[in-house]
Structure 1
Amino acid sequence: MRRNVYRDFKAGIRRAGVPEIRFHDLRHTHATYLLSKRWHPKVV
């Protein structure tokens, strides 16, 4: 299952024509978003 998610993620990135990003980059982006919405850092 994990390989399928990773493979589909990479395929979606290629189809969208966006710069190459790592799946792990989404974690950092989401954490930054939550902090900008004033979520408590311990929750994030």
Structure 2
Amino acid sequence: MLKKSRNIEFGAQGEARVAQYLRDLGYEFIAKNWRIHAGEIDLI
């Protein structure tokens, strides 16, 4: 269980870094972690 929570935290940190990088380039987001039947889209 601990490994799974570490993986989730690692993924969240990576998503946050990418989001900040894209914001620095001028991108804006309208949604985050959007779920659909086929999975999840992290940034829209």
- TM-score where L is the length of structure 1: 0.41
Which one has the largest radius of gyration? 1
Give the structure, 1 or 2, with the largest relative contact order (CA under 8 Å, sep 6 or more).
2
Specify which structure has the higher proportion of helix: 1
- TM-score where L is the length of structure 2: 0.41
